[in-house]
Structure 1
Amino acid sequence: MTFGTHQQQNPKLLKSLSDDAARLNAYWNYRDHTAPELREPGCIKRQPGRLGCDFKENGTEFKIAILGSSYAKNHHKMIIQECRHRASTISMADVTGCEPLAAPRKPVDNGKFSTDWTQECSSRLEEFVEFINETQPDYAFMMTRWFAVAEPYDNGPDNLNNDTIYLEMRDQLRKMLPNIKRKLFILDSFPRIHPEGIENIAREMKEGKKTMEEINMSLYEPKQFEWGRRRHAELVKNECGSKCELIDYVDAFWNQTMNTFQFFDSKGFLYFTTTLHVSAHGIEHVRPIYTKICAGATKTYSTGLTLAYVSNGYCSRFGPRTCYVAYSLMLHFLSHSLWSLLLSFSYRYYILFKPAPTRKTLVIILCVIYIPSLFQWVSFLWAQDDPEELREILHEAFPSYNLTGHTVTGTSNILCFSALYTILHMTIPITPVYICILILRRKIISRLSFQGVNITKDTKNLHSQLLMALAYQAVIPGFYLFSIASYAIGQFGIYNHPALEYFTFSSFLLIPFLSPLASFIFVTPYRKFIKHSFFKMANVEPGETSSTPQNYTSHIHVIG
């Protein structure tokens, strides 16, 4: 923002403005951050012994926390005004002079004001951590006037890993950041004003003996604040990246004409008070910063209701839609394989008592069995949500995941019918179907072992072979159980890890591999065909094998 000097203005207008400035400046200096226009009523005190209070708002999108020194109270009303329409709760915790990231270790230069509060700041650090842990905000504003964070370096600006204050800032941030769901805004250090000359600004502007630049420079305290900015910059860069954002008042109050930090406007109205807080006029000056932050805040999603898939195979070359359709098709085949396995056991048991059904009847049965899986595939296609929205959800839940170059698809809310039907159809039938398969297997074995069954030896031997294959296949649904267990652990937020997420689908993939393998191993015609094909490829003549049928015994074995 560019300001002119007061000499360029109309003298009568300047006198009137100077009088208004003197009156308002005196009021702001007297009331400071406790002025009614800077205080929001209705903050409900939190539990006894707990730091802070809560404002209940009418929004539904997210929760906000404001914490810090008296600067938190200095700014809270303005932040509430800008964000309340979207927030359900706004919590505030303020401790005079104390910073959430570090406690002073060296004598504090607080001008003419008391420094008694510095003794308790060290014990307050853990209270700030508990405040964030208990409120679990989506967005947090850390508002402080620098003291500790801008202490002189222990070993210079390039050796912060051995700097006492920086290490404490890092430890505090690591404790708080996991409990802030989306973003932490930190007020960066900025030049401090000399309080002695503040009360004279309006008078000196009116007298005209000093230029605006001269008055402003007499208030300027250049030392130390750069040390705080350096520590903040390194902290954001090394510890939280895009999850943290610095609010820069140097940029907000910088006067391009004078090329310096501005403590009052061209009419003499103060941006800062004699107690070093931001005046009501200064609050209005920085309001656009917070208007932009609150308007740009993205909605927080419940990751517990989100089911997202990250594809890195060939389908990613064709886009998210292709990956999602292919994934849906795969799921429907997996679910249908379970019903097919149950049908195989049911059919084998049925023909032990009755003639085999006609081909037409079998086709009808196969179509009926296929309907639930087909409906799953078609309905699940409508559950796909916007990939960018899903990326935001994943970034919120797993900020350490690097999704660059990967195709993201899925459903943001699994409670919609199309997604919920698929999940229920893939999970609930497994246990009852598996029980039915084991029961049918037991009944088939019992039937085949019964001495009075009137079937030929060849037929009985063939049944034995098929039964062995089905017994082998009966073990296969166990992999469903592993997949469903790992999926449930992740979906309900019990534990999340890339290995667990890969295991869900790795277990599923074993099913289509092992199922046809049973036929190749235990069914003689298939096994002979594979042997013949292998020997032919290897240019090896197969040896002679006896084809004399063996007598059936109670031991089930393979005839080949």
Structure 2
Amino acid sequence: MFLLILYVLHTILVSGVLFNVILVYFTIFKTPKSIGTFSILLTVRGGADAFACFFDIFSQSRIVPSGLTLGIVSSGICKYLGDWSCFVGYSLQLHYHCYSFHLLILCFAFRYYVLIERYPKSNQLIFLMCILYFPSFFQAVFVLIDSNKPEDVRLLLRIHHPEYEMKDVIVNGHDDLRDFPCLFAYLLMLIPIFPGYMLIHVFRRKIRSKLRNAILRPEVREKHRQLTLALTVQSFIPIAFIFSAFAFLISQSKLIESPILESLILLSAVLVPVLNPILMILMVKPYRETVMRAIGIDPKEWQCVMSKDCSVAPGDSNSSMFSFDNTSVASVTSVSSKFTLTGERSPFD
């Protein structure tokens, strides 16, 4: 019964693959020119999130801390392909979660940077994304090279958890967490989560402070108000990673030993790649309007109903909450402790 419930939950979360594929399509074909550079970051993160969701469905793994042994119990379609495929699927899921989290930090850094400087060049952004890829790459490699024999890990799990039913599942893992490759890989996953989350909130506060002190036209200030709201909502999504890390540490320390808590370690983490594309599609106006037209809703009529004002300004149809163009978030310069928007043209216009 427990395995059936887990199967249903993982199957529901497969929607994350669809949402992220749609987001990647939008970033490639529906992105307004004013946010062209930022769309590169959205595309790569959407791809990483799609793979994280896919490998979650593929392996459907549950982490079972057992003293110095870390068991990986998998019940997904990988069990029909062999023990090694389940472990590879689990490792790649962690890999893409790790990279997606690093890219989320870069998203907030990007938004702050464009408020104080010119747009970064696309090759600069790609270089930064490549640099951020290395920690998650090494994490995946070290997890894979520390894999132990499935029968040894299964025996150790039975010693620590004789009450667990492990008949129809694949068991992999690490028989000793103190081995350097294993310890290094999981510390590389856990340590950046807490300072990274704090860094996200630091960038969010700095962005809000810049916007409060900026001298902006009313329509531009409204766009920034929407951007600030979007940042606030998005900054709370990584709490799922925090919960996942705490669940792992609590299980590893044996404060609570429960199959439910063990299952939530990865289930809570996969909520991030499921919710992120939904939020991005709702925030970026061209993406949102494309979805509305696809389901038969006229965006202009909907705007009239919501705002009770059917006067649409010319050229407004291409605006978005992420309007990183020269009319909204061009470089901001300090003047007498206030900030004035300059009229520099975006290099991507």
CA distance in 2, matches of 1:334, 1:505: 10
Q: Deviations over 1:149-169 (max 9, x none)?
A: xxxxxxxxxxxxxxxxxxxxx
SS at match of 1:309: strand
Please report how far the alpha carbon of residue 440 of structure 1 lies from its aligned counterpart in structure 2 after TM superposition.
0.9
Q: 2:276 aligns with which of 482, 502, 515?
A: 515
Q: Deviations over 1:182-233 (max 9, x none)?
A: xxxxxxxxxxxxxxxxxxxxxxxxxxxxxxxxxxxxxxxxxxxxxxxxxxxx
Greater relative contact order, per chain length (Cα 8 Å cut-off, separation 6+): 2
> 1:398 matched to which residue of 2?
161
Is 2:139–2:186's contact at 8 Å kept on the other side of the alignment?
A: no
Please report how far the alpha carbon of residue 373 of structure 1 lies from its aligned counterpart in structure 2 after TM superposition.
0.8
> 2:211 matched to which residue of 1?
448
Q: Is 1:484 equivalent to 2:248 in the alignment? A: no
Please report how far the alpha carbon of residue 523 of structure 1 lies from its aligned counterpart in structure 2 after TM superposition.
1.3
Please report how far the alpha carbon of residue 465 of structure 1 lies from its aligned counterpart in structure 2 after TM superposition.
3.5
Whichever residue aligns with residue 407 of structure 1, its letter is I
Q: Is 1:421 equivalent to 2:184 in the alignment? A: yes
Whichever residue aligns with residue 312 of structure 2, its letter is T
Q: Is 1:364 equivalent to 2:127 in the alignment? A: yes
- What residue ranges of structure 1 are gaps of 5+ in the alignment? 1-301, 551-556
CA distance in 2, matches of 1:549, 1:422: 53
Please report how far the alpha carbon of residue 366 of structure 1 lies from its aligned counterpart in structure 2 after TM superposition.
0.9
CA distance in 1, matches of 2:67, 2:192: 23
Is 1:461–1:559's contact at 8 Å kept on the other side of the alignment?
A: no
SS at match of 1:308: strand
**What is the number of residues matched between the two proteins?**
247
Percent identity between matched residues is 34
CA distance in 2, matches of 1:500, 1:435: 25
- What residue ranges of structure 2 are gaps of 5+ in the alignment? 1-64, 304-309, 315-319, 324-349
Q: Which has the higher helix share?
A: 2
CA distance in 2, matches of 1:542, 1:521: 13
CA distance in 2, matches of 1:486, 1:445: 32
TM-score by length of 1: 0.42
CA distance in 2, matches of 1:542, 1:548: 11
Is 2:247–2:264's contact at 8 Å kept on the other side of the alignment?
A: yes
> 2:143 matched to which residue of 1?
380
SS at match of 2:254: coil
Q: Deviations over 1:491-530 (max 9, x none)?
A: 1222211111111112111111111121011111111111
CA distance in 2, matches of 1:380, 1:407: 17
Map 1:16-165 onto structure 2 (within 5 A): none
> 1:548 matched to which residue of 2?
312
CA distance in 1, matches of 2:129, 2:87: 26
Whichever residue aligns with residue 548 of structure 1, its letter is V
Please report how far the alpha carbon of residue 534 of structure 1 lies from its aligned counterpart in structure 2 after TM superposition.
2.0
SS at match of 1:408: strand
Please report how far the alpha carbon of residue 328 of structure 1 lies from its aligned counterpart in structure 2 after TM superposition.
0.7
Which protein has the larger Cα radius of gyration, Structure 1 or Structure 2?
Answer: 1
SS at match of 2:270: helix
Whichever residue aligns with residue 191 of structure 2, its letter is I
Q: Is 1:493 equivalent to 2:257 in the alignment? A: no
> 2:20 matched to which residue of 1?
none
Q: Is 1:505 equivalent to 2:266 in the alignment? A: yes
Is 2:227–2:322's contact at 8 Å kept on the other side of the alignment?
A: no
> 2:109 matched to which residue of 1?
346
SS at match of 1:401: coil
CA RMSD across the alignment: 2.5
SS at match of 2:289: helix
Is 1:384–1:411's contact at 8 Å kept on the other side of the alignment?
A: yes
CA distance in 2, matches of 1:534, 1:379: 45
Please report how far the alpha carbon of residue 543 of structure 1 lies from its aligned counterpart in structure 2 after TM superposition.
6.1
Would the alpha carbon gap of residues 371 and 467 (structure 1) be closer, same or farther in structure 2, given more than 3 Å must change?
farther
SS at match of 1:355: coil
Q: 1:322 aligns with which of 81, 85, 88?
A: 85
Is 1:320–1:407's contact at 8 Å kept on the other side of the alignment?
A: yes
Q: 1:472 aligns with which of 210, 233, 238?
A: 233
Q: Is 1:312 equivalent to 2:69 in the alignment? A: no
